[in-house]
Amino acid sequence: MKVYDASKLIVVFGAFSISEFSDNDFLTISRDGDSFRDISGVEGEVARFKTRDQRGTIKINLMQTSSAHLKLSAIAQSDEILGKGVLPIFIKDGNGKNLYFSPESWLLSFPEITFGKELRFWQWRVRCKILISFTGGTT
């Protein structure tokens, strides 16, 4: 029987390990565009072309109480002031064969912050110049 354990997901941004994720969909990894596109001629012939666009976005949802906010805020501030926020990001699913990596990535902005009676989840968005993906599934 296969068992999935969300705590086996490893996320490292720069030199920092990110943890204390939200309780539901806490990580979204997506390419911004298609790897290939195609066109059709007037007689129905089809030709495809490679876009060479490998950019992607990773959304990380953290509990409001996560200590990772301190690390990510420091990186975001450093980038805004010094332009020193381009770092690698690495994601490995310890439950299977899923690996995601970008040698050059950066935080798009600070998360939108909401305070209320209950604790919230805050989302950080990481932009990847090249998002290398291997989706091998959960074993």
pTM above 0.85, yes or no: yes
Query: For the CA atoms of 8, 12, 16, 22, what is the dihedral angle to 10 degrees?
Result: -50
Assign domain 6-134 one CATH number from 3.40.190, 1.10.220, 2.40.30, 1.10.10. Answer: 2.40.30
Rounded-to-integer distance, Cα 81 and Cα 50, Å: 37
Please work out, in degrees rounded to the nearest 5, the angle formed at the alpha carbon of residue 72 by the alpha carbons of 70 and 77.
95
Q: Is the pLDDT of residue 28 over 90?
A: yes
pLDDT at 3: 82
Q: Is 44:104 a contact under the CB 8 Å cutoff?
A: no
Rounded-to-integer distance, Cα 40 and Cα 47, Å: 7
Rounded-to-integer distance, Cα 80 and Cα 77, Å: 5
Lowest mean pLDDT among 6-10, 14-18, 74-78: 6-10
* Helix residue spans in the chain (DSSP H): 68-82
Q: CA separation (Å) from 86 to 29, 45, 107?
A: 18, 43, 8
Give the chain's length.
139
Residue 27 gets which letter from DSSP? E
Segment 52-111, tens digit of pLDDT: 999 999 999 999 999 999 999 999 999 999 999 999 999 999 888 999 999 999 999 999
Give backbone dihedrals phi and psi of 102, rounded to 5 degrees, phi first: -140, 125
Q: What integer best gives the mean pLDDT of the chain? A: 93
Rounded-to-integer distance, Cα 42 and Cα 84, Å: 50
Lowest mean pLDDT among 1-5, 42-46, 89-93, 111-115: 1-5
Q: Is the pLDDT of residue 139 over 80?
A: no
Q: Which residues pair with 114 in a beta bridge?
A: none
